[in-house]
Chains A and B, each alone.
Chain A
Amino acid sequence: MAYLKKSPWLLHYDASSCNGCDIEVLACLTPLYDVERFGIINTGNPKHADVFVITGGINEMNRQVVKNIYAQIPDPKVVVAVGVCATSGGVFRECYNIAGGVDQVIPVDVYVPGCAARPESIIDGIVTALGILEEKRTKMKEQEGSA
């Protein structure tokens, strides 16, 4: 059974966003969008999370932090890069201190573009991520079975 899809808990991390995307992510929790309808909870804790939502590009200060947090999310897990900065670095791409998008340090499963990304597209991105999450779980199960 795929309960994973019915109960995705997400962790929201602001890499170096201008807070525009962060506000949109939080907007998803408000009564208007209410993502808890889908069982989505915003946990503050990587050890409880299934979906890693990152806003903003990677800079030298948080490169290691993002890696650490990603490592601390138990499998199966997916990464959603929200906003154009998280997907590619955006307008900051060429800055001296920006490494680029999130995929420079950890594997990203879903890219949600936009500046800022709209709540609808964020929700859409997360729902897409749930499919990938489910695939990963099946793969994990198979590996356990074969191991």
Chain B
Amino acid sequence: MNELIFLIVFPTIIAFILLLLSNNRMRHAIVACSALVISAASIYLLATSYARGAVYYTVPFEPTSLVMFAIEMGIALLLLWLGIRFKQYIAIILVLIQSALMLFYEFTMGMGMEPVRNLFFDQFSIIMAMIIGIIGSLIAVYAVSYMQTYHDHHPEVRDRRRFFFFVTFIFLAAMFGLVFSNNLVWVFFFWEITTLASFLLIGYAESEEATKNAFLALKMNLLGGIAFAAAIIYLASADPAGGLLELDALIASGQAVALVPAVLISFAGLTKAAQMPFSGWLVGAMVAPTPVSALLHSSTMVKAGVYIIVRFAPVLAGSLAGASIGFVGAVTFLVASGIAISQSNAKKVLAYSTIANLGLIVACAGVGTYKLIWAAIFLIIFHAIAKSLLFLCVGTVEHRTGSRDIEDMDGLIVRMPRLAVMMFVGIAGMFLAPFGMLISKWAAIEGFIDAPFGLLFITILAFGSAMTVFFWAKWMGKIIAVTPYGENVEGTVSREKWAVLSILTALTVLAALFFPLISSGLVEPYLLGVFGETARLAQDNVIIMVLMISLLLILPLSFPFYAKEEKRMPAYMGGRPVTADLRFAGSAGIERTMTTRNYYFTEYFGEGKLLRYANPICILLILLAGAIAAGAVL
């Protein structure tokens, strides 16, 4: 139990130290050391506990809950104050509703509650803890160096780095708390902390746009928070002793009891995981400094949303409400993949790709068979690694070249060769065999085929994947295009950044190589524990995957050979005399430059165009799930 409490408390302590510390050098050292400690602690948890199955710890419910309640009310007051200050009246109303619900719960029901098994871990929690502990703290290390450059480039932004790292580490602590809590009231507490933390981080720049988008995120997540609070009240009134507030008891209690709270909490999960129609906040969140995006997209925040839905998958499985939540995910996957085609802002492409992949996870979890949960958990793992790598790569490119537009990434391989290779690996990790995401998609297809509405899901998946290939491959093409001009600007990238990027690149490849171990050591035991049966990849397929990865590692070795042997010749330009930077005399003697542009198909896949259809569909599906749940109550 101590390791769980340590993982929650230690980042909190570090957060407060960082809040008080204004020395940059000291901050560097403390962030690096505590990142090391947090990673080590989560690895220690894995090493000592992976074979122990689900373990529950008795922690006294009071007075911890009272402290949490007090903090929650403090947060509510803070949000009210900010809401009034920025005239965000909808946010104020949402905060008031949520606080009223929690006050109601605390004073009419909370008193008599004594849930005992308040902390726990199982293999799924360990996986999440590894993601938070390793990837989250790597991002924190990167952020130290990034924020330095960020403030050099943006003198207009007030330097609030102490506050930034304070919130970052609180965020990590809250994520640990979220995945280790077995008491829903505690889960909710940490849930609200992540909402607040992301709100504060998105608004970091304090510009008008940042504030607006931060409040957008807040409003959408508060909506989910209200649903979560409603679920708690429902459970408290269903079982005044508070036994149902324990996550494991609730999930084991079956659909008759648990479906309503499962739907409510899944709705909260949908808002947090930025599923349509709530996708707007995650897209807006890209105004924040890049490490924040990396954090939100890979190891925290959105992963909390899908985590809770995957947790409730056994309840949702087989129900119509679960299927409609699954369809929200599927539609989101399809539409977000389409929109990603039409975007040229790299961070926006990454944002929509995150939304799409979360949609796929939600689709798997909503349908909820054991095969699909296998796929969903692997999607969470692989997505976290590759997406954090990609965000940090884009952040580095933006600082070096001054643009995060994919159209400006021509010849990145010439200007930033090491970084381009890392970005290449990250993108390959997102959509190509034999890397992780593809293994998961494959498992998802094989899982959906035996599931209700399977055919519809598979068709959506097939179209979505096709679009995924398109937008990733064209980006890949941009960065590997070898331009005859351009000079290396990599030199000034700091050592810390390189270290973080290299580790993440290695993790992308290693995770694909060792995923059978992750599967047999963690995911399969978890599935056996929850479903009584498990999925796994057939032995020969594993061998083929390993063979493919080995080939991918060997084939680049041919490059030095070709580089030595071949005769070079410039690209064909219709025979025109062309200068080294690809300028030539066009018709009527006007000088032109050869440039290349990708297809974006805005007229087919434009953001507004697709969202106009997708949002209403998703709202209808959510209402359907709600109606089914409400029907169950009546």
Contacts and interface: CB of A to CB of B under 8 A. Distances in A.
A binds B: yes
A47 B575 contact: no
Interface in A47-81: 47, 64-66, 68-69, 71-72, 74
B576 interface: yes
Interface in B99-138: none
B577 interface: yes
A45 interface: yes
Contacts of B574: 65
Contacts of B572: 45-47, 72
A32 to B, nearest CB: 31
A65 B585 CA distance: 12
Contacts of B557: none
Interface residues of A, number: 12
A2 to B, nearest CB: 22
B569 interface: yes
Contacts of B569: 47, 71-72, 74
A114 B614 CA distance: 67
Contacts of B573: 68
Interface in A67-110: 68-69, 71-72, 74
Question: Which DSSP category, helix, strand, loop or mixed, fits chain B's interface?
Answer: loop
Interface string B545-575: 0000000000000000000000001101111
Interface in A3-28: 13
Contacts of B577: 64-65, 68
A65 B576 CA distance: 5
Nearest to A66: B575
Contacts of A69: 575
Nearest to A63: B577
Nearest to A47: B572
Contacts of B575: 13, 46, 64-66, 68-69, 72
Nearest to B570: A72
A71 B575 CA distance: 9
A43 B183 CA distance: 72
A66 B569 CA distance: 16
A65 B584 CA distance: 12
Nearest to A64: B577
20 contacts: A13-B575, A45-B572, A46-B575, A47-B569, A47-B572, A64-B575, A65-B574, A65-B575, A65-B576, A65-B577, A66-B575, A68-B573, A68-B576, A68-B577, A69-B575, A72-B569, A72-B570, A72-B572, A72-B575, A74-B569
Give the 3 A-B CB pairs with smallest separation, nearest first.
A65-B575, A69-B575, A68-B575
